[in-house]
């Protein structure tokens, strides 16, 4: 097999890699993406169920995701608002199922406690620069404790503490005792404020969806650069020198270029071989940013029957496999679609179950919240990411204690001709599609500037 040549090699056809390739191409340089899988999109994956597009990966954008709105408009992908009318259903602290209004009046004090902690988190997060979290005045102190330990120290009531955990795990997809408090503050600050992240209603990061499914974005991007992508080419080794890079793929494919952009999560980037080898500093970082654990499960019904009951299709629960759900009906279609989230421990535990067992337990949970009609879905689909060999965990990479303060500067700093993309390296909306676009553009810009220098 002949060696392919390009100006800029890009490892990975996720959103970040696709954006990098397009940006490089627009600058008059030739990109070549080497993708391990047989598809583009990475952590964006739309699968059909009952003829409807289900989002097994990234699904929403939020009002401040300016890059994504612009990208969708450019690609001609229409958007529509997330459904958000009616009450959320709660099942917390052994009270049985309560509708939102009842829950809010019964637990007004606890919700006020929670609100106070969220305001405090906002204040502390404001001290953290998302590009350089390790420079925050209290970085050393905050990076030495876990987010869970900080939460535990706030003297919260069990209901407030549980809600705080559920909301946070909904973002991190790992238990809060696995990440440093500095990492939590980084996560908040990269997105703005806690209300953007932890909104009980679907505000913040989850206001808007894409017509035809989120995969329309990477698929249309790929169409624009289709001559510049090769599939089923897992990169095993990157040889690099001044102004010269050769990548070697499983199966024998090789490609050469002047720069390479590695658009993979840090852990996957660490699994590639480099010749000459990278520093211990960079390497030990990639040993310490594991991907988190999330599953999504979809139920399709003949109609969104919960809406007629004044419910918004959202549940928040501390029992049952799922901690949260959403109404994810498809615009222009009359079926009812409920999405259940299994995140962190819930994902880890329930991946060991059979699909039937998961479906049965989730059905029981839905019936408790939305009534007997939930027992008879037309279709069911679930998916988790740890077993997908080219992703190995969603939503993102998290940092335990001392990782940011010890290794943070190694995350996005180029090494010779090697540049780093992926949403995990972003400073705005890291872990989101918005961050993937930022990181892809930033890495492409670094490369373009260095080649024009």
| Peptide bond preceding 267 in cis form (omega within 30 of 0) | no
CA distance 199 to 167: 8
Least distance in Å: CB of 187 to a copy of itself?
A: 17
Tokens of 316: 């928040």
Least distance in Å: CB of 338 to a copy of itself?
A: 24
Least distance in Å: CB of 421 to a copy of itself?
A: 20
DSSP 87: E
CA distance 54 to 296: 10
Q: Which is nearer to a copy of itself, 204 or 321 (CB)?
A: 321
C-alpha distances in Å from residue 109, one per residue of 96, 97, 166, 311, 355? 19, 19, 18, 23, 39
CA distance 98 to 106: 9
Least distance in Å: CB of 180 to a copy of itself?
A: 9
The helix or strand, by DSSP H or E, that contains position 229, with its residue range, turns out to be strand 229-230
Least distance in Å: CB of 355 to a copy of itself?
A: 15
Among 230, 242, 277, which Cα is nearest to 3's? 230
Q: Which is nearer to a copy of itself, 60 or 134 (CB)?
A: 134
Q: Which is nearer to a copy of itself, 29 or 381 (CB)?
A: 381
Q: Which is nearer to a copy of itself, 117 or 410 (CB)?
A: 410
Instruction: Report yes or no: 270 and 283 within 8 Å, Cβ to Cβ.
Output: yes
Helix spans in 200-304 (H): 216-224, 266-271, 280-286
Q: Which is nearer to a copy of itself, 288 or 335 (CB)?
A: 288
Least distance in Å: CB of 188 to a copy of itself?
A: 20
Interface contacts to a copy of itself, rule CB under 8 A: 144-146, 148-149, 174-175, 177-178, 234, 236-237, 248, 250, 267, 270-271, 273-274, 277, 279-281, 283-284, 287-288, 290-291, 293, 345, 348, 351-352, 384-389, 392-393, 400-402, 406
CA distance 346 to 320: 9
Q: Which is nearer to a copy of itself, 76 or 277 (CB)?
A: 277
Among 348, 404, 452, which Cα is nearest to 187's? 404
Least distance in Å: CB of 431 to a copy of itself?
A: 16
The helix or strand, by DSSP H or E, that contains position 163, with its residue range, turns out to be helix 158-172
Least distance in Å: CB of 250 to a copy of itself?
A: 6
Q: Which is nearer to a copy of itself, 18 or 397 (CB)?
A: 397
Q: Which is nearer to a copy of itself, 95 or 387 (CB)?
A: 387
């Amino acid at each position: 097999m002949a060696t392919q040549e390009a100006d800029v090699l890009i490892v990975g056809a996720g959103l970040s890699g696709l954006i990098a390739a397009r940006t490089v191409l627009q600058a008059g340089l030739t990109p070549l993406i080497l993708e391990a899988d047989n598809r583009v999109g990475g952590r964006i994956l739309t699968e059909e169920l009952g003829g409807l597009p289900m989002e097994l990966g990234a699904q929403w954008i939020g009002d401040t995701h300016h890059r994504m709105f612009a990208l969708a408009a450019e690609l001609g992908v229409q958007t529509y608002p997330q459904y958000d009318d009616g009450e959320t259903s709660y099942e917390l602290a052994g009270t049985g199922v309560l509708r939102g209004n009842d829950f809010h009046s019964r637990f007004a004090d606890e919700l006020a406690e929670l609100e106070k902690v969220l305001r405090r988190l906002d204040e502390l997060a404001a001290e953290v620069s998302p590009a350089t979290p390790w420079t925050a005045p209290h970085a050393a102190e905050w990076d030495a404790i876990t987010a869970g330990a900080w939460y535990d120290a706030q003297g919260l009531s069990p209901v407030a503490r549980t809600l705080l955990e559920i909301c946070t795990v909904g973002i991190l997809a790992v238990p809060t005792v696995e990440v440093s408090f500095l990492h939590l503050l980084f996560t908040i600050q990269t997105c703005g404020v806690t209300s953007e992240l932890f909104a009980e209603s679907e505000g913040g990061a989850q206001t808007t969806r894409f017509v035809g499914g989120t995969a329309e974005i990477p698929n249309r991007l790929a169409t624009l650069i289709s001559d510049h992508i090769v599939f089923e080419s897992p990169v095993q080794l990157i040889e690099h020198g001044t102004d010269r890079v050769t990548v070697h793929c499983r199966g024998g494919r090789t490609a050469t270029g002047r720069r390479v952009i590695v658009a993979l999560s840090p852990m996957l980037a660490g699994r590639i071989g480099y010749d000459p080898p990278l520093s211990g500093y960079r390497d030990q970082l990639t040993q310490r940013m594991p991907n988190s654990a999330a599953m999504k499960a979809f139920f399709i019904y003949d109609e969104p029957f919960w809406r007629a009951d004044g419910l918004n299709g959202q549940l928040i629960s501390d029992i049952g496999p799922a901690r949260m759900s959403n109404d994810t009906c498809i615009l222009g279609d009359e079926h009812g679609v409920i999405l259940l989230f299994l995140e962190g421990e819930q994902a880890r535990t329930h991946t060991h179950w059979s699909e039937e067992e998961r479906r049965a337990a989730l059905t029981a949970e839905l019936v408790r919240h939305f009534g007997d009609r939930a027992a008879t879905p037309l279709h069911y689909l679930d998916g988790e990411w740890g077993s997908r060999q080219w992703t190995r965990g969603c939503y993102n990479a998290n940092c335990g204690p001392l990782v940011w303060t010890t290794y943070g500067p190694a995350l996005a700093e180029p090494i010779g001709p090697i540049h780093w993309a992926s949403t995990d390296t972003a400073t705005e909306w890291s872990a989101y599609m918005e961050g993937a676009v930022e990181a892809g553009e930033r890495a492409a810009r670094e490369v373009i500037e260095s080649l024009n220098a």
